[in-house]
Structure 1
């Protein structure tokens, strides 16, 4: 089996409402590049990465000369062809490789009648728990506009009714830390027995992070996620608090992973199937973390169904997945996979049973949301559509106030 073509299509998928974070916003849609690897046997495999447009599509298609004739089963050769460390120093190809590897694992699984998780060692679990992933949101069409503690709690209650979440994650850092403390504490009071996590996207100084950690200590915290920036900042925080710490920002490659282990800097690493350069790389990192007795879980980077499937296969095979995974998925109004969006049950999503990634792309929907992208375009992740002159300063982002946010409704 040989690769004969690689295709790339940018799509825009609508969200219930725009999602705010410490460094900008998702402007009511996710932009994804869908990658199709075609083989000489007529099989297609599917991959996905974040962002899109002409440059992203050209970058994917530009790898065809490297990969025409490549056997998609030879995944380690694929890694060296695309992510050679010297070449990647000048042209970072991590996420390009992630999407193509995803597609190769998908097509190989279809050819061999094996699931993607079987290609990395097999499944330890068949259902993956997820957190509710709550955002301060701008108003959407019938949804959104949450600012206050009461509004966030009400949205969390709606998500629990819809999907059964027993872990709740608040995306903080938009407002001043005391507002996050108030909202987060209200969530804890509203759901006795559930678990919680707070993620301000590195917006705080170490000193502010320590203060917040002390204030929320009574909450049933899984961990403190990216409370401050850098391995040194997170190490200083960890030395001063008793709650475990976590990151998906400052440990995203094997060099950083080695430094994290040497410095004993962060307790839990959230593994992303695109940021780490692919499903296999994220799983390898999980095995290293297991060997050194660090925690691991699955990170979300704004996925559609293809990447979600890769996350489910990663979660199935991770030996030390002791926390609910993240997913933005429930914020999407639709998906491009056959059968529509995957469904939560009691806060879990089942690992797909079919070969490869276990999902198939609905080509009509792919065309529909490619056209939608051409209509609405992309957006700049690190800008806020309601505050055109705002920009993030890290640490201590230029926080909004609840009053100014309410005025934008």
Structure 2
């Protein structure tokens, strides 16, 4: 019998800065650099990776976190989580439970990647097995400038009206074969956003559509948009803020509502169900504490008759691989998942060809662990960019105010 050395012998954290286009949203506009955090975990001879939010592992706690997990078994993820939680409670008592899960999430992904490599099994099998060979993703459409402030126009072009959005959609379909669309709204007047949806419906007959204003609309505006888009949408995402506000919109329109804003921790589930405020929950392993918790969340949603899909933010290929593994193992995944990957793939840390969107879907990796290889030179490059840039927090509103000093991200706006 072969004995596997599965103890953690090293944990390193790499904050990264990578290119992001000027994508508009209710909070402002994406800055030239987006932030993510990579975790590199070693167990025995295996090197494994996880990816999290840019603020996932605060620099002041990283040394203590690394020390706390050394010697723990990568298969003992509950013990690893407890060790991480203990350190954060001691050093960062200001962090709530959800923020502590954000810190644990990329460590858990790295532990699962290590488990898979040690056992020579894909992560999806560690989550119960893939139920589908491919996971569908939706094209994520944004109103956007032609290029960044003080910069040259980018390859994507300007999209500030319905014609621009349709052209953007055609480009994404040509490159990736997407078969559904999500439009990020709350950035321009609702009239422009509704007309953009109508233009998409005309240009792509029968393609599923969804729209997300991130709570930028008033109750009355949300009602008007629901009326004007009747029959166009598979669901309406976060038209207003809060469980009570969402409940009222659904009660008055009957339109299915999705969220990644008013239900972001387990304590929100019961009141949301009681109020019939959410019909589709957009899970996100970066927020909910990893892949296993995401699958548990999906099971809760199944019991409560809530649909399941996935939220996305600016991310790289390690996250796309992790999302694909857990999505493949969720029985009740009811809608194509969101992904920013096309917008950020030029700076990806996964080796070329390691993770691809083809015909609007990602084939579930079958190699050990996450099934992707990491380009160490690219990691070093993006980490150096992070160090040299001095960029430490995302500030969409501040960047927008460089263009429009009167801009405010207070919501509702329209």
Alignment pair present for 1:172 and 2:185: yes
Q: What is the SS of the residue equivalent to 1:170?
A: strand
1:4, distance to aligned residue in structure 2 (A): 2.3
Q: What is the SS of the residue equivalent to 2:227?
A: helix
Distance 1:27-1:183 versus aligned 2 partners, 3 A rule: same
Q: Aligned partners of 2:67 and 2:389: how far apart in 1?
A: 32
Q: What is the SS of the residue equivalent to 1:132?
A: strand
1:56, distance to aligned residue in structure 2 (A): 2.8
Match of 1:48 in 2: 51
Greater mean alpha carbon deviation, residues 80-89 or residues 126-135:
80-89
Greater mean alpha carbon deviation, residues 337-346 or residues 300-309:
337-346
Match of 1:272 in 2: 284
Question: Number of residues paired by the alignment?
Answer: 393
Distance 1:143-1:282 versus aligned 2 partners, 3 A rule: same
Q: What is the SS of the residue equivalent to 2:170?
A: helix
Match of 1:251 in 2: 263
Distance 1:173-1:119 versus aligned 2 partners, 3 A rule: same
Q: Is the 8 A contact 1:107 1:356 kept in 2?
A: yes
Match of 2:401 in 1: 387
Runs (4+) of structure 1 exceeding 6 A deviation are: none
Greater mean alpha carbon deviation, residues 83-92 or residues 228-237:
83-92
1:170-224 Cα offsets, whole Å, 9 max, x none, are 00001121111111111111110111000001111222211111111131x1100
Match of 2:116 in 1: 109
Q: Is the 8 A contact 1:33 1:57 kept in 2?
A: no
Distance 1:317-1:338 versus aligned 2 partners, 3 A rule: same
1:5-404 alignment runs, 5 A limit? 5-15=10-20, 17-39=21-43, 41-51=44-54, 56-83=58-85, 87=89, 90-91=94-95, 92-140=99-147, 141-219=154-232, 221-332=233-344, 333-340=346-353, 342-378=355-391, 380-388=394-402, 389=405, 390-396=407-413
Q: What is the SS of the residue equivalent to 1:93?
A: helix
Gaps of 5+ in 2: 1-5, 148-153
Q: Aligned partners of 1:60 and 1:299: how far apart in 2?
A: 27
Q: Is the 8 A contact 2:88 2:100 kept in 1?
A: no
1:99-130 Cα offsets, whole Å, 9 max, x none, are 10011011111111122121221111111111
Gaps of 5+ in 1: 398-409
Q: Aligned partners of 1:57 and 1:35: how far apart in 2?
A: 13
Q: What is the SS of the residue equivalent to 2:221?
A: helix
Greater mean alpha carbon deviation, residues 111-120 or residues 83-92:
83-92
Q: What is the SS of the residue equivalent to 1:6?
A: strand
Q: Is the 8 A contact 1:6 1:61 kept in 2?
A: no
Q: What is the SS of the residue equivalent to 2:263?
A: coil
RMSD value, Cα: 2.0
Greater mean alpha carbon deviation, residues 73-82 or residues 120-129:
73-82
Q: What is the SS of the residue equivalent to 1:38?
A: strand
Q: What is the TM-score normalised by the length of structure 2?
A: 0.90
Match of 2:8 among 3, 7, 10: 3
Q: Aligned partners of 1:96 and 1:60: how far apart in 2?
A: 10
Q: What is the SS of the residue equivalent to 1:82?
A: helix
